[in-house]
Every structure is written in C-alpha cells, then in structure tokens.
Amino acid sequence: MDRFVPPDARILDADVDFQALAAQDPVWVPPPPCHPGASRRDFIKGVIASGTAVSALSYTMGGRSARAQSAAAPERLIAINVNGQVRRTDVTPNETLAMTLRYKLGLTGTKLGCDRGECGACTVLIDDVPHHSCSTLTHALRGRKVTTIEGLEAPNGELHPVQKAFVEELAPQCGFCTPGQIMSSVALLKVNPKPTRDEARLALSGNLCRCGAYDHYLNAVMRAAREA
C-alpha cells in the first residue's frame, strides 16, 4: 500500500512546488506566504486559476478582509453533498468551505483557527481526503463529497469508532483542535487501517494542538486501529 501522505504533511516540505500541487487538486488552494516556497503571488494566482477573482489588497489585509469584500460579490446558488445530503446554498465566488459550513449550513463542528491553512482545525474530508476547509473554495465542490465531524456518527447517534477512541483516551484538552484531529485520523484509517505510530504521527502532522495533547491523540488513533 502506498504510504499515506496528507496534504498538510506535503506543505511542510521546504521545496514543495505549490503550483504543481494546485494543478493536481482543483479544490486545493496553495497556502499563504508564511509557508516556505510560497508567495502571495502564488496564492493569488491559485485563486484566480480556480475561477475566482480576489483583490491583492483584500488578501494583504487578511482572510477576514477578504470575506468582508466577498459580501459585496454576487452570490450563486450551488448544491453540494455534505454528510450524505445535498445542501443548496448561495455562495460568493471567493467563499471558503469553512465559511459555508459554519455560517450558511450551521455545521459549527468545523473550527476556524488560523483561517490560513496552517493549523488544521478546519480539516474536513473531500472525497475521503483531508483538506483545510479554510483554504478550499466552496464553488469548486460541485460533484464532490464533503464529510464534516457531524457526519461521522451513525444515524442512531452512535459515535464513530475514532470518536469513541478519542473519548476513551481522554485525548482532547480544550477540544478546539479535536474535530480536525479526528477528521485526519479517520482519513488515515480509511487508507491505512493498521498504521504504525510514526505513520499516525505523520498523518496528524498538519493538525496543531495548542494544548500539546499530541501523545493522547496518537494513543487514540492507535486504539481505534487496534479495536477496528
């Protein structure tokens, strides 16, 4: 089996070619210039390549300014598959999936930390692959399958095995990063049901935890793999 390399691990590489990555994955927007090898120009080119116009000025002022500008942009009705349901909503051309999920669809389990592709708090699955929803454009998701933390539990309310393992290991502290940690873990176990601890560490490497609960999260992933 191919070794699972999450998008977040890829962006830690110092010499990563962001343009090539963006070309491989049409819904992935290259991270902003704080990452080695990336530049503000790369980000803007990536957004434009996705069919969206966002001004350099609004980006310079930060993601929240970009959103303020998006309020004036025309909205378009789209239908996206979220947690197995087709959800219709109006989105602006430069609206991120995190904003759509939280503020249009009421799915607030997806957290917004940095809002710039660095912390992993906003991780969701798109076609079972983990993505930063703060760096993914909603309008690019037609025909794709989005899974959020709310979509993991069974219809009868039973928690997903990974969620149970996180509870058993008392993994979260403040819990803010936990949805992202769980989504990355679920993605890992789909492609590698019996990971080594190092493989699990790599898969979660893009999910930062300000409380430093990393070992607890790894214990939880290994428990979920053991008990599956």
Residues that bind ligand FES (CB under 6 A): 112-115, 117-122, 132, 134, 172-177, 209-211, 213
Comparison of 97 and 228: residue with beta carbon closer to ligand FES: 97
Nearest distance from C-beta of residue 183 to ligand FES, angstroms: 12
What does the block give as tokens for 18? 């962001």
CA 168 to chain centroid, in Å, comes to: 24
Minimal distance in Å, beta carbon 155 to ligand FES? Answer: 28
Nearer to ligand FES, 82 or 121 (CB): 121
C-alpha 145/C-alpha 125 separation (Å) is: 8
Contact between 179 and 111 (Cβ < 8 Å): yes
200: left (phi over 0), alpha (psi -120 to 50) or beta: alpha
Residue 146: beta bridge partners? 82, 126
* Minimal distance, residue 177 CB to ligand FES, in Å: 3
The two three-digit tokens of residue 5, written as one number: 């390399």
Q: How far is the CB of 226 from ligand FES (least distance, A)?
A: 22
The smaller minimum CB distance to ligand FES, of residues 79 and 174, is found at 174
Radius of gyration for the alpha carbons in the chain, expressed in angstroms and rounded: 17
Given a contact cutoff of 8 angstroms between Cβ atoms, the answer to whether 133 and 117 are in contact is no
Nearer of residues 40 and 64 to ligand FES, judged by Cβ:
64
CB of 122 to ligand FES, least distance (A): 3
Give the residue with the Cβ less far from ligand FES, 92 or 135. Answer: 135
